[in-house]
Structure 1
Amino acid sequence: MISAEVAETVRRVDAFIRETVIPYEADPRNGGHGPTDELVQEMREKARALGLVAPHVRPDGSHVSHVETAALLKASGYSPLGPLAVNVMAPDEGNMYLLHKVATAEQKRHFLKPLVEGRTRSAFLMTEPDGGAGADPGMMKTTARPDGNHWVIDGRKTFITGADGAAFGIVMAKSPGGATMFLVDLPNPAIRIERVLDTIDSSMPGGHSVIAIENLRVSADQVLGEIDQGFRYAQVRLAPARLTHCMRWWGTAKRAHDIATGYAVKRHAFGKPLIDHEGVGFMLADNEIDLKQAELMIDWAAGVLDTGAHGTVESSMAKVAVSEALFRVADRCVQILGGTGVSRDTVVEQAFREIRAFRIYDGPSEVHRWSLAKRLKKLNTPA
């Protein structure tokens, strides 16, 4: 259920994206490793003037429902720059959610408040290279060892979104009894960016970095939540974050579909508009079906989370179904546009790249299917 207040905010976000943000897509500051912080802040100042920065967070710091968040983020995603402009982009949005749930009052003041206000960026340092944590976080190699009232952290991380330019990071490391999360101000001399990877996607400021952590000393008050509870907190963050990815990229896929539909109506071949050729018209019809099914899947999984359930199974199902449906939509749009579809004359080319990467973000489809199959085996194996 969406309140009248949130419904009005959705309408305002939609208008802001269409009227103010979309023209920024051609801005030269929108580069291969994401838009510059200067561009993001310029858009955010315009959003701030309209009261649209982090519209999913209430003035008291609490979040609107997951179903309401879905409506807001789908509207924001109509441009790849939209979630950044209104401050609902990953990894910041997921970090906001986790900090609200777990952080101390002082941690919220220092880290969460400026993040929600859209004045800083953050990073989430979990994934590792060299056979470390990835889809299987239990393989974590980065270590945190206690040293009096401090912890000493060593290891390497990779594909760390937004680390270049972030004001702080949530660092996850293996501790004596499990895994622990730590809040660290950035930059820090003990956290070194080895390189920023060149990747297929280009929507997130700072790109995705490979990072070395060497003799990082943090105090006890920088522990996020409880010691050794990092894996549990990762699930607190990741179940909703999988869904918010679905929400944002749904908006982008809808934009690509709208562009392809407009093209198919206007463009003629063999004596009639492209849309009148079944090969094209049926692709657009399939897009409508995939978009609606994806939307229903998002709202179903969000509704489960709103009941207070953990939602891991539902978010895994949605992540697989939605990411693959939206990729089919984007792929068809490229095909319908022909040569224009592989050019940067429209945003469809970027939508295709971003949504392809989305099939890997927060766990590739195969890992989620494997997890769901394990659950089926457990439920159906006699005791």
Structure 2
Amino acid sequence: MTDSGTDHTSVRQQDAEGHELRDRIDRFVRTRVIPREAVLDGGGPAAAQTLAELRGRAQAEGLWALPLPVELGGGGLGLRAYAATAEAEGASEHGPAALGSAPLLDVTMLARHGGPAVREAYLKALVAGEIRTCYAMTEPDVPGTDPFRTGTRAERGPDGGWIVTGRKWFTSGAAGADLVTVMARTHGGDGDREGLTLLLVPTASAGFRVVRELPVLGAGGQYEIELDRVRVPADHVLGEPGDALAIAGERLQLGRTLRCLRWLGQAQRAFDLMCERAATRSGSRGPLADQQLVQSHVFDALLALRTTRPLVHEAVALIDAGRDARTEVGLAKVAAARMLQQVTDSAIQIHGAAGLGPDTPLPGLFRTGRAARILDGPDELHITSVARRILRDHPRPGVAPEA
């Protein structure tokens, strides 16, 4: 028989450990990462050196790669346990990279679907931060919501490998990546639901080129890339040829949920700045905090935060349990993107002109929120997908339910 008293003690201990870990990560991001954001945003050698220093400090403090597998050099934290810390980590765009959790998506994908050669060559180096990866799916002039129209092609080479030709854009981090996962059509025709494959392409390969950077509302980090008959080894296919959509769907569910967690952290940061401004700033009519319109901004922002957080963690729980989370991820993604934009907009309003300038992170946070409503699936896609899924289970009278 289970000792319920022992169970309760264990749960309390785990909760205490979780709170302590979150506090440590929060302190690391606030005191070490955020003060260096200007340097990290600037890129170049100074940013690379600063990031290396932060990573070394994270390793020294036992905070490195917490959600990644222990056998690969990570902390082994499960998804639900990591979710409790991901908000604090994501308060800065640079937090995941500084703390070593940024490659979680790629490590998960390669560990599940990469062959022995790929796992041996890349996984430990990814976790150690020695190499970087990116993901290329969207193409110019092809709706990102319609992967069946993918124009990038991969054909068999004489050695059994693949020869890839095509162009991708809005590929995050492509300029500094060592590997790029490319969705390409290996068989079938334009619009076919079958025949799409994911290939892992070393960026040092002949024929690979970064065409240009694509600033998003003035911020860098997104790129257009070209592949001109790039040769890819046969063992660099993820899964089997034709498996791309299943693997991509799995990746997108986890990726969107991780981003939602980080948006919560960024929104909390904007909310804290708004409250600090309201509490310390006075005008001709007295403290801002005493004005009803300011109080309304605070209330609405807090309501948005508090109502979005459970949606995100519900999606986390379902993914962690291996269950279908498409509806919950769609709800969370739309709610979190809207919430970040709303909370940051209110914080800017309370700051006035100061909220538009370079002295606060608010313009960058607002930009992230606005871009989030388009990138990684626009609001309209998620709204339509979720609504159709729900309505399918509630057929109209006289209409037989779908099989």
Query: Would the TM-score normalized by the shorter structure come out above 0.5?
Result: yes
Q: Which residue of 2 aligns with 1:112?
A: 123
How much is the aligned-residue C-alpha RMSD, in angstroms? Answer: 2.2
Instruction: Show the 5 A alignment for 1:296-307.
Output: 296-307=310-321
Q: Which residue of 1 aligns with 2:357?
A: 343
Displacement after TM superposition at 1:97 (Å): 2.1
Displacement after TM superposition at 1:108 (Å): 2.0
Q: Which residue of 2 aligns with 1:77?
A: 90
Q: Which residue of 2 aligns with 1:10?
A: 22
- Asked whether the 8 Å contact 1:111–1:168 carries over to 2, the reply is no
Find runs of 4+ consecutive structure 1 residues off by over 6 angstroms: 32-35
Counterpart-to-counterpart distance in 1, 2:44 and 2:185: 30
- Asked whether the 8 Å contact 1:33–1:198 carries over to 2, the reply is no
Amino acid at match of 2:310: L
Q: Which residue of 2 aligns with 1:187?
A: 204
Displacement after TM superposition at 1:33 (Å): 9.8
1:334-379 Cα deviation digits (max 9, x unpaired): 1110011001111112111112112222101111111122223432
Displacement after TM superposition at 1:290 (Å): 0.9
1:39-89 Cα deviation digits (max 9, x unpaired): 322321221221222211241358533322221210112223222211233
Amino acid at match of 2:29: I
Asked if residue 43 in structure 1 is aligned to residue 54 in structure 2, the reply is yes
1:15-34 Cα deviation digits (max 9, x unpaired): 1112211210233x522899
Larger-Rg structure: 2
Amino acid at match of 2:210: I
Match of 1:167 among 178, 182, 194: 178
Change (3 A) 1:180 1:119: same
Residue 188 of structure 1 aligns to a residue whose secondary structure is coil
In structure 1, stretches of 5+ residues that fail to align are: none
Match of 1:68 among 74, 81, 88: 81
- Asked whether the 8 Å contact 1:179–1:228 carries over to 2, the reply is yes
Asked if residue 102 in structure 1 is aligned to residue 119 in structure 2, the reply is no
Asked if residue 369 in structure 1 is aligned to residue 383 in structure 2, the reply is yes
Instruction: Show the 5 A alignment for 1:15-34.
Output: 15-27=27-39, 29-31=40-42
Change (3 A) 1:104 1:201: farther
Counterpart-to-counterpart distance in 2, 1:332 and 1:200: 19
In structure 2, stretches of 5+ residues that fail to align are: 1-10, 188-193
Change (3 A) 1:141 1:318: same
Counterpart-to-counterpart distance in 1, 2:374 and 2:272: 25
Match of 1:260 among 262, 274, 280: 274
- Asked whether the 8 Å contact 2:115–2:236 carries over to 1, the reply is no
1:188-216 Cα deviation digits (max 9, x unpaired): 221111111122264xxx71111111111
Residue 164 of structure 1 aligns to a residue whose secondary structure is helix
Counterpart-to-counterpart distance in 2, 1:362 and 1:169: 17
Change (3 A) 1:70 1:325: same
Change (3 A) 1:34 1:127: farther
Amino acid at match of 2:327: V
- Asked whether the 8 Å contact 2:64–2:99 carries over to 1, the reply is yes
Amino acid at match of 1:21: V
Amino acid at match of 2:393: L
Match of 2:195 among 178, 182, 186: 178
- Asked whether the 8 Å contact 1:200–1:354 carries over to 2, the reply is no
Residue 182 of structure 2 aligns to a residue whose secondary structure is strand
TM-score for the superposition, normalised by structure 1: 0.92
Residue 170 of structure 2 aligns to a residue whose secondary structure is strand
Match of 1:144 among 151, 154, 158: 154
How much identity, in percent, do the aligned residues show?
Answer: 34
1:235-267 Cα deviation digits (max 9, x unpaired): 110001001001112111111111111010010
Match of 2:227 among 207, 213, 216: 213
Q: Provide the aligned length of Structure 1 versus Structure 2.
A: 376
Change (3 A) 1:111 1:146: same
Larger RCO (alpha carbons 8 Å, 6+ apart):
1
Residue 251 of structure 2 aligns to a residue whose secondary structure is helix
Residue 189 of structure 1 aligns to a residue whose secondary structure is coil
Asked if residue 333 in structure 1 is aligned to residue 347 in structure 2, the reply is yes
Q: Which residue of 2 aligns with 1:87?
A: 100
Counterpart-to-counterpart distance in 2, 1:81 and 1:107: 27
Counterpart-to-counterpart distance in 2, 1:125 and 1:84: 19
